[in-house]
Amino acid sequence: MTNDQTSPPVAVTLVSGPTGTGTIDDFELFYARRALDRLRTRLGRQGLLDLLAADSEEGNAFLRDSARASDGSFAAGTTVLSTRGLTSAAFLAWMDKAFAGDEHALLAAHPEHYVMAPGTDGSFNVVENIGPHICSFYMGGWGTDAMAWAADADELLPESEFPHKMSSNLFLDDGTVVGRALTQFGDTADGFTAHLTVYVPTTCPQDVLEHHLRHYAVEFRNWITAAAAARA
């Protein structure tokens, strides 16, 4: 073999052994989720907050600086999911129940969910990754007419087709609005479609937006399958 030739990629195939269905990737995902669930449970909410305090401080500083540099302007991106076999009403009823007090179900939807808990003022505290940054922020309104932006959003879809809508500001504990979220759900003949829009400060690198679109795909897919499993 000459120096300018490259070796073929290594490929590993499972020939025999496990009797259950699935690929090696499926097995690894199962064990990774089990290990992560054990660590979250052992640490608990306060343990995770303490463990990630320095990371959250750094991540929040990034969001705060980005929001201030963007001077209130945001870049939007939308992840679209199509679901069969479950109505939007059934899914949203499950979501309402989970957000009312089932933190375990909320955390289980994504490996980078660390805390998802109601705040004392009706807002909702989330500790998760925004791009590569671990951040602690709140979902809800902030100030008078805080949600007025949603009525004029370019991403707003017709009420007749997407009647189930939820909008939120994402803000830090000092009130700095660092993002927005707009989720819209409409039923189809055999299920529903979800349009999941996130808004990040315009000065954020493109990969921050890209990774949150991926984040949406993972967490909502898992929440939808959990909602379906709860009905079985």
pLDDT digits over 171-227, tens only? 999 999 999 999 999 999 999 999 999 999 999 999 999 999 999 999 999 999 999
At 143, the pLDDT band (50, 70, 90 cuts) reads: low
CA angle 183, 167, 131 (to 5 degrees): 70
Portion of the chain with pLDDT greater than 90, in percent? 90
* Percentage of the chain modeled with pLDDT above 70: 96
CA dist 181 and 78 (Å) reads 10
Q: What is the pLDDT averaged over residues 82-93?
A: 97
- Regarding the domain delimited by 52-231, which CATH topology (the fold level of the hierarchy) does it fall under? Alpha-D-Glucose-1,6-Bisphosphate; Chain A, domain 4 (3.30.530)
Question: Residue 164 pLDDT more than 90?
Answer: yes
Task: State which H helix or E strand residue 96 sits in.
Answer: helix 88-101
Say how many C-beta atoms besides its own lie within 10 A of residue 224's C-beta: 23
Quote the pLDDT of residue 227.
98
pLDDT of residue 147: 73
- For residue 144, pLDDT over 60 is answered with no
Please check the confidence at residue 133 and state whether its pLDDT lies above 70: yes
- The arrangement of strands across the sheet holding 177-187 comes to 74-84, 191-201, 177-187, 164-171, 133-140, 124-130, 113-118
Q: State mean pLDDT over 110-117.
A: 97
> Using CB atoms within 10 A of its CB, is residue 137 exposed (0-12), middle (13-18) or buried (19+)?
buried
- Tell me what the mean pLDDT of segment 137-145 comes to: 75
Question: Which neighbouring-strand residues pair with 3?
Answer: none
Does this model's pTM top 0.85? My answer is: yes
Mean per-residue pLDDT for 15-23? 94
Per-residue pLDDT, 6: 79
Residue 159: pLDDT band with limits 50, 70, 90: very high
Residue 122 is predicted with a pLDDT of 83
Identify residue 12 by its one-letter amino acid code.
V
Phi, psi of 149, deg, nearest 5: -60, -30
Mean per-residue pLDDT over the chain, rounded: 94
The residue among 86, 125, 132 whose CA lies nearest residue 107 is: 125
The pLDDT of residue 189 is: 97
Q: Tell me, what amino acid is at 112? A: E
